[in-house]
Structure 1
Amino acid sequence: MNVKHLAAFAVVGLLSVAPASAKVQILRHDPGKGQLPAGQTVLVDDGSCPKGQIKEVKGGSDRSLRTGSNHSGSARTHRCIARP
């Protein structure tokens, strides 16, 4: 494989990743309860992560509260990641 092919694959790879990262929102505060749908991801720049990192928040589900079942939903997750 020559350099032109490698460059073409790199460009295609970058273009396929760009739209996915463009959908991530950066907020100043955690979304309130019920404001972040299950599975949706936002970035929160509230100063709680070390320098050069930002908090990633993924929405959870409170299925057990809504349905009254014993099956628990998934909890909202928080973690510090490198800034995009």
Structure 2
Amino acid sequence: MTHSRLFSIRAVLLAAVGVTAFSMAAQAQVVSRESDIVSLRLGQRIQVDDGSCPTGQIKEVTGTTLTPDGVARSSKCVPRVVRK
């Protein structure tokens, strides 16, 4: 194989890995109780399906800021997205 052909194959494989990683990161983790969240990273979003939000919404817990005690959390109700 020529050098340019190998480069093209590597570029396609790298793009495929990037798209896969991005799509997996875009999917939020869903737990049934907020106490099920053991560790939360800065910027991470976890959805909590505990029934505390109105119909059609789900609680989203986000790691907002870094404090001396760890990552501070905030939560809000967001529209529930139906995944196929």
Q: Above 0.5 in TM-score?
A: yes
How big is the shift at 1:60?
3.9
The residue aligned with 2:76 is 79
How big is the shift at 1:29?
0.9
The correspondence of residues 30-45 of structure 1 with structure 2, limited to 5 A, is 30-31=34-35, 35-45=39-49
User: Cα gap change, 1:34/1:20 in structure 2, threshold over 3 Å: closer, same or farther?
Assistant: closer
8 A contact 1:42–1:58 mirrored in 2: yes
The correspondence of residues 7-18 of structure 1 with structure 2, limited to 5 A, is none
Gaps of 5+ in 1: 1-14, 67-73
Alpha-carbon distance in 2 for matches of 1:39, 1:62: 10
Alpha-carbon distance in 1 for matches of 2:65, 2:36: 13
Whose strand fraction is larger, Structure 1's or Structure 2's? 2
How big is the shift at 1:75?
2.9
Q: What TM-score, normalized to structure 1?
A: 0.55
Cα distance per residue 1:15-72 (max 9 Å; x no partner): 9xx8167531111011467611121111110010001100011024453236xxxxxx
What is the aligned residue count? Answer: 61
Pick from 54, 60, 67 the counterpart of residue 63 of structure 1. Answer: 67
8 A contact 1:29–1:44 mirrored in 2: yes
Q: What TM-score, normalized to structure 2?
A: 0.55
How big is the shift at 1:80?
0.2
CA RMSD in angstroms, aligned pairs only: 3.0
Gaps of 5+ in 2: 1-18
